[in-house]
Amino acid sequence: MAFAEKTTNYTIEDIYALPDGQRAELLDGQIYMMAAPSRQHQEVLGILYRKIADYIDGKNG
């Protein structure tokens, strides 16, 4: 006999109740814990941001 899996539908209040600094996302009533971005991720993001900004500046945007 199969048993139904018990699921909890979390709300934004549950996210706000997490400890300060805890990174999490609320998607479809489920909380997903997130790791902090790595240094490499931040460096790549900075390069990408600069390239996009340079492109927009070049288009007088």
Q: Where are the domains of the chain?
A: 12-58
| DSSP codes of every residue in 1-61 | ---PPP-----HHHHHTSPTT--EEEETTEEEE-PPPPHHHHHHHHHHHHHHHHHHHHTT-
pLDDT top residue among 27 and 1: 27
pLDDT 10s digits, 12-36: 999 999 999 999 999 999 999 999 9
What is the pTM (predicted TM-score) of this model?
0.56
